[in-house]
Chain A
């Protein structure tokens, strides 16, 4: 199993550009989520999905879109990048919400200039 994979590993964007961060898992997990990690802030939940076709907002959803057309994939779209979106982004998956271990991808380091 590859686990949770994320691409790209690094990305530099100019303000106003859009892009999609890719996330895939091969563990047949129903629950997937996106977090951003900023220094001294821990991880903050952006969006999550409890299954294909179902998504919901987390703590910091503004400026981001998600979709879940398959169980395996959960892309995160930045609509119009802003310097405040400079961060490290992590995708995670688990068998369900609640008392389940989350498996994290290696992260995407995004810089917006």
Chain B
């Protein structure tokens, strides 16, 4: 069973544009994380947001969390070709404190 679901499944934008990905989940959470995966590589942690936080920033990344709507968004500003990757949200509602990953959003940034 999947707790989080990213939207869209795939996104293609031009370099310099902003990219927004969304994550919706079903049950209450304690924490939500976003990860990036480059093709053929392991996942890399981007940012963690706790259920009592509404927004966090890290460099060109901005994450919001709306617990009333059970959703989160990841915004990448001024995208670069190197941002091309799959992005996953992970939530910790099920299996105790283990995180459950969504199927991901594939982002392509065209030069």
Chain A 76-106 interface mask (CB, 8 Å, partner B; 1/0): 0000000000000010100001110111111
Residues of B within 8 A of A97 (CB): 96-98
Total count of chain B residues near the partner, CB < 8 A: 28
Q: Mark A1-19, 1 if CB is under 8 A from B, else 0.
A: 0001000000000000000
Report yes or no: B97 in contact with A104, Cβ–Cβ below 8 A. Answer: no
Contact with A59, one of B1, B35, B104 (Cβ below 8 angstroms)? B1
Inter-chain contact B43/A104, CB cutoff 8 Å:
yes
What's the nearest-Cβ distance from chain A to residue B15, in Å? 27
Q: Which residues of B contact A58 (CB under 8 A)?
A: 95, 98
Which B residues form the contact surface with A (CB < 8 A)?
1-2, 4, 30-31, 33, 35, 40-45, 48, 50, 88, 92, 94-104
**A-B contacts, 11 listed (Cβ < 8 Å):** A4-B42, A42-B102, A43-B101, A44-B101, A58-B95, A92-B42, A97-B98, A98-B31, A99-B92, A106-B42, A107-B41
Which residue numbers of A lie inside 8 Å of B, CB to CB? 4, 33, 35, 40-45, 48, 58-59, 90, 92, 97-99, 101-107
